[in-house]
Copies of this chain bind each other. A is one copy, B any other.
Amino acid sequence: MTERVVDEASRRRRRPTKHGQILTHRLIVETALRMLREHGAAGLTARRLGLALGADASAVYRYFRGMDDLVLAIADELYGHAMAGWAATGDWRGDLRDLGLRIHHAYLAHPQAAVLTASRVTGRPNEVAGDETILGILRGAGFPDGDAVRIYHAFIDQSLAFAILDAATLALPKAAREADEEVWHDTYARLPAATHPNIAATAPLLVARMNDSAYPTALDMLLSSASAQLSG
Contacts and interface: CB of A to CB of B under 8 A. Distances in A.
Contact of A217 (B139, B154, B196): B154
Interface stretch (A84-92, A95-103, A199-207): A199-207
Contact of A161 (B123, B128, B156, B162): B162
A128 B165 contact: no
A161 B100 CA distance: 15
B228 A188 contact: no
A56 interface: no
Interface in A120-151: 120-123, 128, 131-132, 135-136, 139, 145-146, 148-151
Task: For chain A, give the interface size range.
Answer: 35 or more
A8 B122 CA distance: 45
B139 A183 contact: no
Interface in A186-232: 186-188, 191, 196-199, 201-202, 205-206, 209-210, 213-215, 217-218, 221-222, 224-226, 228
Q: How many copies does the complex hold?
A: 2
A187 B128 contact: yes
B214 A225 contact: no
Secondary structure of the A contact surface, majority rule: helix
23 contacts: A119-B172, A121-B180, A121-B184, A121-B210, A123-B183, A123-B188, A131-B199, A132-B197, A136-B197, A139-B202, A146-B205, A149-B202, A149-B205, A150-B217, A151-B221, A154-B217, A154-B218, A157-B213, A158-B161, A161-B162, A221-B225, A222-B225, A228-B228
- Give the 6 A-B residue pairs with the shortest CB-CB distance, closest first: A123-B187, A119-B168, A161-B161, A157-B214, A135-B198, A221-B225
Interface of A: 68, 118-123, 128, 131-132, 135-136, 139, 145-146, 148-151, 153-154, 156-158, 160-162, 164-166, 168-169, 172-173, 176, 180-181, 183-184, 186-188, 191, 196-199, 201-202, 205-206, 209-210, 213-215, 217-218, 221-222, 224-226, 228
